[in-house]
Amino acid sequence: MQKKRIGILTSGGDCPGLNAVIRGVVKAADKLHWEVIGFIDGFEGLLPPGDYRILDRASTSHIMSMGGTILGTTNKGHFVSKVGVGEKAVVAPEIVEKARSLVEKLRIEGLIVVGGDGSLTTAQQLFEAGFPIVGVPKTIDNDLEATAMTFGFDSAVASVVDALDRLQTTGTSHKRVMVLEVMGRHAGWIALYGGLAGGANVILVPEIPFHYDKLAEFIKHRDYAGKLSTLVVVAEGAKPEGGQEVYQEQSKVGESRLGGMGDVVAREITARTGKETRTCVLGHLQRGGAPTTLDRILGTRFGVMAVQLIEDNKFGQMVSYQNYLVLGVPIADAVNRLRHVTPDSQMVATARAVDICFGD
């Protein structure tokens, strides 16, 4: 008898923990005597003649500690279906049919799609077209509504904390304001968690519009109190009250690239306080490197559950972490529903209680 064959692909932005998912899938599938095919560079690997490789225990035995993904990934190509928050473009029917022909030719009985909101939007379309899809959520922003946590987030926060530890010493030495710009287009989870753990004095997130005058007043007050250095964490999507996001690159197709709010904040602080201010943009350092212990465990659990969902024929489901358990929820409940920082949440209240300013 031929072995049951399942596929897996990683799509969208990379992050630490992807290889832990792949390894978890391979090991769980091997227990069931299934064969696993890994498609290269996301959905693009589904196009005939196909770009894929057989994954087994030997080829995945040492990948859990590696950052990135051994399968490669892309957020461009024929299958891109996310064009902006709350919007989607439809993958062309001829592309869907080409992918279907390869999936059927390879006898894929379950296809695991590891990706964020945009990739899962594509996965949902393929499921509605009859593909045997199971989703695994992936975003360092931790902003998917249908899961309490995604792998990659803890590693991103760890990089923010490391940067703040380093900026603290140089900022104190020169009595400067140090501004750290971090990722977070629509949600400020990385800035909030990283800033709280890293001892930031100011945290600016997209969900809480801020005022430059209030930032200046806060920093001056710290100076009067003898605290001559201030750490400011700025999410890339943060904006002042009545203002707009700052873009590094505008795009007519897809989402424009944010970037530069850190520099704007630094200039305004200097203008209003006279304090010497420096900016550091963490950028893709948040995506790279080895995953933390938490992300290795969460990625493994997600991979194992994805195989379980296929075994139970629960297609159209996405792996979800809720109340310390890994379960399955409909992919449709996850896409286009972002989880935002709530301004009156306990986490924000905790940050305010330890004298962190949000500029409001």
Count of positions (residues) in the chain: 360
* Residues 75 and 33 grouped into a single domain: yes
* Residues 99 and 140 grouped into a single domain: yes
* Of the residues 221, 254, 288, the one at which a domain ends: 288
* Residues 14 and 134 grouped into a single domain: yes
Asked if residue 281 is part of any domain, the answer here is yes
* Residues 206 and 127 grouped into a single domain: no
Asked if residue 339 is part of any domain, the answer here is no
Closest residue by Cα to residue 125 from 158, 160, 90, 149: 90
The stretch 182-197 carries a mean pLDDT of 95
* Residues 142 and 23 grouped into a single domain: yes
* Of the residues 255, 288, 321, the one at which a domain ends: 288
Q: What is the CATH number of the domain that holds 133?
A: 3.40.50.450
What's the domain range around 283? 155-288
* Residues 114 and 11 grouped into a single domain: yes
Q: For residues 315 and 6, give the distance between their C-alpha atoms in angstroms, rounded to a whole number.
A: 12
With a cut of 70, say whether residue 81 has pLDDT above it.
no
Q: Is the bond leading into 49 cis (omega within 30 degrees of zero)?
A: yes
CA 355 from chain centre, in angstroms, equals 28
- Residue bearing the bigger pLDDT, 44 or 255: 44
Q: For residues 144 and 278, give the distance between their C-alpha atoms in angstroms, rounded to a whole number.
A: 32
Q: What is the pLDDT of residues 241-266, one digit of tens each?
A: 988 878 776 655 556 677 789 999 99
Asked if residue 200 is part of any domain, the answer here is yes
Pairing state between β 317-322 and 325-330: antiparallel
The stretch 95-103 carries a mean pLDDT of 96
Q: For residues 314 and 237, give the distance between their C-alpha atoms in angstroms, rounded to a whole number.
A: 36
* Residues 251 and 205 grouped into a single domain: yes
* Residues 53 and 134 grouped into a single domain: yes
Q: Is 323 exposed, middle or buried (0-12, 13-18, 19+ CB in 10 A)?
A: exposed
Q: pTM of the entire structure?
A: 0.91
The stretch 282-297 carries a mean pLDDT of 93
Q: What DSSP designation does 210 have?
A: B
The stretch 263-272 carries a mean pLDDT of 95
Asked if residue 115 is part of any domain, the answer here is yes
Q: What is the CATH number of the domain that holds 178?
A: 3.40.50.460
Asked if residue 348 is part of any domain, the answer here is no
Provide the mean pLDDT of the chain. 92
165 is catalytic: no
Q: What is the pLDDT of residues 216-230, one digit of tens each?
A: 999 999 999 999 899
End-to-end CA distance of the chain: 66
Asked if residue 113 is part of any domain, the answer here is yes
* Residues 36 and 146 grouped into a single domain: yes
Output the DSSP codes for 84-147: ETTEE-PPPHHHHHHHHHHHHHTTEEEEEEEE-HHHHHHHHHHHHTT--EEEEE--TT--BTT-
With a cut of 90, say whether residue 188 has pLDDT above it.
yes
Asked if residue 350 is part of any domain, the answer here is no
List 38's β-bridge partners, or say none.
Answer: 8, 53
Closest residue by Cα to residue 195 from 161, 222, 155: 161
Q: For residues 198 and 232, give the distance between their C-alpha atoms in angstroms, rounded to a whole number.
A: 11
Q: For residues 330 and 153, give the distance between their C-alpha atoms in angstroms, rounded to a whole number.
A: 22
Query: Which of 14, 41, 141, 154 is an active site residue?
Result: 141
| Domains identified in the chain, total number | 2
Asked if residue 349 is part of any domain, the answer here is no
* Residues 143 and 160 grouped into a single domain: no
For the beta carbon of residue 244, count every other beta carbon within 10 angstroms. Answer: 7
pLDDT at 245: 79
Share of the chain above pLDDT 90, in %: 79
For the beta carbon of residue 1, count every other beta carbon within 10 angstroms. Answer: 4
* Residues 9 and 143 grouped into a single domain: yes
pLDDT at 1: 65
The stretch 160-183 carries a mean pLDDT of 95
Q: What is the pLDDT of residues 321-338, one digit of tens each?
A: 999 999 999 999 888 788
* Residues 140 and 237 grouped into a single domain: no
